[in-house]
Amino acid sequence: MFCLTRLICFSIIKQRIIRLLFLALVLFTLMVLIFSNIRWLPGKLARSTIQIQNALANLSARVQLNTPPAKNRTSTLPPLITNAPMETRPSKDPQKRVHTYGYVINEPDKCKDIDPFLILLITVERWQKQARQAIRITWGKEDFLPGVRILRLFLLGKDLDWNDEGQRSLVEESQMFHDIILHDYLDTYYNLTTKVINGLNWISTYCPNASYVMKTDSDMFVNTEHLVYRVLKPDGPPRLNYFTGHLMTNGMPIRNLDSKWYVPPEEYPEESYPLFCSGTGYVFSGDLARKIVQVSPNVTWIRLEDAFVGLCLDKLGVLPVAPPKNSDFSPLRVGYSDCDYNQIVTSHLFSPGDLMYFWNRLQQNKYTCVLNQ
Ligand SMILES: *[C@@H]1O[C@H](CO)[C@@H](O)[C@H](O)[C@H]1NC(C)=O
Ligand SMILES: *[C@@H]1O[C@H](CO)[C@@H](O)[C@H](O)[C@H]1NC(C)=O
Ligand SMILES: *[C@@H]1O[C@H](CO)[C@@H](O)[C@H](O)[C@H]1NC(C)=O
Ligand SMILES: *[C@@H]1O[C@H](CO)[C@@H](O)[C@H](O)[C@H]1NC(C)=O
Ligand SMILES: *[C@@H]1O[C@H](CO)[C@@H](O)[C@H](O)[C@H]1NC(C)=O
């Protein structure tokens, strides 16, 4: 299959199929109405209307399992369990298991006194100091939203050029900002799954009562304010087994050797992935950190971090859901406009300079346009 990027091949296929299906449905309905109902219109129409109403009632009864009652915000959402958790076993081959590692730099006391509302887990490489700096003063500012406890953590491993000087400089940065978690594994793109699972392991060890966690990358723009108030809602009921982001439906392993996302059949023989969310930014309820870490050794390792987390969720019987409307978790770069950026959660491919420029522009203009409800 030819894919420009992993995303473009999914979305083009999806849009075409949806359009075709929609057209077919409209034509089919017209045909049925014209050919079967025309002679008996009054009686038949009445009966089929009732049938349709019943079917709709049935459908909404099922859909309601996944949506909160519109006016009753005090009841908690039922967990999004789609099927019973499966009993699974760890692979005998250690290469096919995700391992957890010890800490080189740690922040064990971050959650000692207070449970955060949101933890931002940001994958970054050691040399990206400017990106860390830009995030600290923009969307990763821990005291940005009054009364909402946000915690920022950068996830690192030991890169290939790791030496005493590098370690000294990073320890200094860590003492200044207290936002660096460095585990003792080799930090390569191929080890991204390890990076993320070790980050989740930090949460389940030191901060198990966090309400929500967002995993995102160092080149992202995140509208933290929109995420907190319009997606997660500090006043809303606490959620369990909640997982949202940019849904990757019908994701297929890329078998093109030249692709950054190539996955060899030995690593993942199936033809498609279970539903998962793009690793550019996904958000989940804090309880899932521990659950994903616990099931992860029993899930065969694959290099794609986001698809791997999807496989863990599948084993747990948790289904990722779409975010609320006007809350796009875009895995691509969204062209800047004050109004659009007020109503997205993420946009991709930001240099540190871009991030600071557009962040400040949004802060100055965010109240100048009316939000769609
Ligand atoms: C609703 O669905 C169930 C199971 O699919 C079926 O048994 C029942 O008859 C349906 N009810 C209506 C009103 O369509
Ligand atoms: C909200 O839902 C709960 C549980 O379903 C129920 O016990 C309670 O009475 C409801 N409250 C209101 C205001 O409807
Ligand atoms: C993982 O595998 C072990 C060993 O077979 C088993 O005891 C455990 O229940 C499994 N865990 C999950 C979450 O499936
Ligand atoms: C991933 O990290 C482990 C632990 O440091 C290391 O043994 C392994 O070689 C790394 N894998 C890659 C592909 O870099
Ligand atoms: C998390 O909450 C549980 C139960 O409410 C409590 O027992 C535990 O001490 C809390 N853990 C932390 C690290 O705050």
Compute the distance between CA of residue 333 and CA of residue 331 in angstroms, rounded to an integer: 7
User: How far is residue 145 from each of residues 96, 105, 291, measured CA to CA in Å?
Assistant: 41, 27, 29
Residue 213 corresponds to which tokens in the numbers above?
């966690």
- The alpha carbon of 70 and the centre of ligand 2 are apart by a number of angstroms equal to 11
- The alpha carbon of 225 and the centre of ligand 2 are apart by a number of angstroms equal to 29
Residue 183 in domain:
yes
- The alpha carbon of 59 and the centre of ligand 1 are apart by a number of angstroms equal to 9
Q: Which residue has the tokens 């019987």?
A: 317
pLDDT tens digits for range 303-354: 999 999 999 999 999 999 999 999 999 999 999 999 999 999 999 999 999 9
Compute the distance between CA of residue 90 and CA of residue 85 in angstroms, rounded to an integer: 15
239, 247, 300, 185 alpha-carbon torsion, rounded to 10°:
-80
pLDDT averaged over the chain? 85
270 and 138 in a single domain? The answer is: yes
Residue 342 in domain:
no
- The alpha carbon of 118 and the centre of ligand 1 are apart by a number of angstroms equal to 41
48 and 104 in a single domain? The answer is: no
Residue 65 in domain:
no
Compute the distance between CA of residue 235 and CA of residue 332 in angstroms, rounded to an integer: 30
Cβ–Cβ < 8 Å for 281, 350: no
- Ligand 1 touching residue 66 (CB < 6 A): no
Residue 229 in domain:
yes
165 and 279 in a single domain? The answer is: yes
126 and 211 in a single domain? The answer is: yes
pLDDT bin (cut points 50, 70, 90) of residue 91 is: confident
199 and 268 in a single domain? The answer is: yes
229 and 276 in a single domain? The answer is: yes
Check the CA dihedral 253-257-260-265 and report its sign: positive
214 and 308 in a single domain? The answer is: yes
DSSP secondary structure, 82-122, as one string? -SPPPP----SSGGGS-----EEE--TTTTSS---SEEEEE
pLDDT of the residue at 53: 52
pLDDT tens digits for range 146-167: 999 999 999 999 999 999 999 9
**Phi and psi at residue 22, to the nearest 5°:** -65, -45
Residue among 159, 185, 302, 308 whose CB has most ligand 4 atoms within 8 A, to mutate: 185
Which residue type is seen at 361? R
Atom 7 of ligand 2, nearest CA residue: 75
11 and 91 in a single domain? The answer is: no
pLDDT tens digits for range 16-75: 778 888 888 988 888 876 665 444 445 445 455 555 555 554 444 333 333 333 444 443
Residue among 58, 60, 62 whose CB has most ligand 1 atoms within 8 A, to mutate: 58
Q: What residue numbers bound the domain in which 21 lies?
A: 2-52
113 and 248 in a single domain? The answer is: yes
46 and 86 in a single domain? The answer is: no
Residue 155 pairs with which residues in a beta bridge? 123, 181
Residue 302 in domain:
yes
DSSP secondary structure, 315-356, as one string? HHTB--BPPPTT-EE-SSPPPP-HHHHHTEEEE----HHHHH
> In the chain, pLDDT over 70 holds for what percent of residues?
80
- The alpha carbon of 209 and the centre of ligand 5 are apart by a number of angstroms equal to 6
Cβ–Cβ < 8 Å for 301, 95: yes
- The alpha carbon of 277 and the centre of ligand 3 are apart by a number of angstroms equal to 25
Residue 69 in domain:
no
* Ligand in nearest proximity to the CA of 237: 2
Domain count, the chain: 2
SS3 letters across 207-236:
CCCCCEEEEEECCCEECHHHHHHHHHCCCC
Closest ligand 2 atom to the C-alpha of 71?
A: 14
Residue 157 corresponds to which tokens in the numbers above?
């491993």
Give the global pTM: 0.74
What residue ranges line ligand 2, CB within 6 angstroms?
Answer: 72, 74-75
* Ligand in nearest proximity to the CA of 203: 5
Burial label, 267 (beta-carbon count in 10 A; 0-12, 13-18, 19+): middle
pLDDT bin (cut points 50, 70, 90) of residue 368 is: confident
CATH at residue 108: 3.90.550
- The alpha carbon of 13 and the centre of ligand 3 are apart by a number of angstroms equal to 37
Cβ–Cβ < 8 Å for 134, 160: no
Residue among 149, 209, 285, 287 whose CB has most ligand 5 atoms within 8 A, to mutate: 209
- Ligand 1 touching residue 51 (CB < 6 A): no
Closest ligand 3 atom to the C-alpha of 298?
A: 1
* DSSP class of 79: P
35 and 125 in a single domain? The answer is: no
Compute the distance between CA of residue 257 and CA of residue 263 in angstroms, rounded to an integer: 8
Q: Classify 127 as helix, strand or coil.
A: coil
pLDDT of the residue at 92: 73
Which residue type is seen at 279? G
pLDDT of the residue at 363: 95
Q: Classify 186 as helix, strand or coil.
A: strand
Closest ligand 4 atom to the C-alpha of 188?
A: 14
Residue 368 in domain:
no
Atom 7 of ligand 3, nearest CA residue: 89
The whole-angstrom distance between residue 227's C-alpha and the CA centroid of its chain comes to 12
114 and 6 in a single domain? The answer is: no
Which of 111, 115, 126, 228 has its CA nearest to residue 178? 111
Residue 63 in domain:
no
Cβ–Cβ < 8 Å for 136, 153: no
Compute the distance between CA of residue 134 and CA of residue 60 in angstroms, rounded to an integer: 45
Closest ligand 3 atom to the C-alpha of 89?
A: 2
Pairing relation of β-strands 118-123 and 150-158? Answer: parallel
Atom 11 of ligand 4, nearest CA residue: 191
User: In b/e form, how buried is each residue of 213-251, taking b as 16+ CB within 10 angstroms?
Assistant: bbbbbbbbbbbbbbbbebbbeeeeeebbbbbbbbbbeeb
Closest ligand 3 atom to the C-alpha of 316?
A: 13
pLDDT tens digits for range 215-242: 999 999 999 999 999 999 999 999 999 9
What angle, 0 to 180 degrees and rounded to 10, lies between the N-to-C axes of helices 192-206 and 287-295?
A: 130
Residue 120 corresponds to which tokens in the numbers above?
């931002």
